[in-house]
Amino acid sequence: MQEAATKTQQNDPSLNLPKIWEIAPQAAQVMAEANQRIDTAASNNSGTSLNAEIARIQIITLGETAKDFKEVLPGNKTIAEVVAENTGAALTGQIQTVILPAVPAVPVVTGDVEFVSTAPDQIIGTDGNDAIAGTSGDNIITGKRGNDRILGLAGNDWINGNQDKDTLDGGIGDDTIYGGKADDSLAGFSGEDILFGNRGFDNINGGEGNDSVYGGRGNDILTGGDGDDFIVGQIGEDSLIGGLGGDVFLLGSEPGIDTIFDFEKGQDLIGLSGGLTFSQLSINSANNAALISIASSGQVLASLKGVAPNLLGIEDFTQRQI
């Protein structure tokens, strides 16, 4: 490929072609009828553009089906996709439109990004406030600094908001989402999602599907949504809402009292982790709620709003780990 570009410069030094860094495999077939030949299509990811004066091309054909189409109009166009070899007299115009074969969808980004790749779909944002939308494939998206807005769309996405206050939505598919530092908003939307608030006061909603929701540090609001969800407040004064379905609210000896707003006996369960057992607990009443505590230390683990303590028994608890 580099040799072809060198020959082009020898034939017509006025083209002044830059180095081509990567050949696009999806655009390997090119045919043309004119006094100017288009040899190949390339992806120029070196930060420069390929500027060539080409005119009077009548037919350019690309792709496996080799269908002819005419897409040359008057005007100027900077071309970053083709290598030209001058085979005739010097030409003065420029190609207005070049149509290339279909390639994988490129993620949509508002603002600068440091890295974009389509195989697999990977995006790394900047230290600014980025707005990033993935593709229908399985995306890997990292927001870095800034108050970012990230949407995974379809596919089983991995999303990390990283630092600052981020808004993260996995979209359709089984997604894994990390809020990172600061106060983040996480939504699984649909699918069996895993969501981690990490640090900060986070608002997390699993959406549809059987989701696993972890608050991390901070006073978080965790909602399971539709489906049989697994909800873990972890460290902090967390608010837990199961939503529809049979949910498990996991309690441990971490600091902080969790408030469970919609526990339904016979449908939901209280999970015990860290070696806790039902026999180690005491259940009392306070402010129209059942308080679950460790009997030996008096540490309050959770408050179940609207639940009478005498209705809770060993059948409402299960041994689970994070």
pLDDT tens digits for 265-286? 999 999 999 999 999 999 999 9
Which tens digits make up the pLDDT trace of 254-268? 999 999 999 999 999
pLDDT the model gives residue 38: 44
C-alpha span between 251 and 274 (Å, rounded): 9
- Domain extent listing, the chain: 2-86
pLDDT band at 321 (very low <50, low <70, confident <90, very high): confident
pLDDT the model gives residue 320: 85
Render 268-308 in DSSP notation, one character per residue.
Answer: -EEEE-TT--GGGEEEEE-SSEEEEEETTT--EEEEEET--
Least confident of 16-30, 83-97, 130-144, 230-244: 16-30
How many CB atoms are located within 10 Å of the residue 64 CB? 8
pLDDT band at 67 (very low <50, low <70, confident <90, very high): very low
* pLDDT over threshold 70, residue 144: yes
Q: Give the SS3 label for residue 65.
A: coil
pLDDT the model gives residue 6: 41
- Residue 146's nearest CA partner among 132, 168, 166 is 166
- What is the arithmetic mean of pLDDT over 288-294? 98
Retrieve residue 146's tokens. 């800034």
- Residues near 26 by beta carbon (within 8 Å), at least 6 away in sequence: 100, 101, 102, 103, 104
Tell me the whole-structure pTM to 2 decimals. 0.65
Residue 214 is given by DSSP the state E
- What is the arithmetic mean of pLDDT over 84-88? 48
Least confident of 47-56, 129-138, 213-222: 47-56
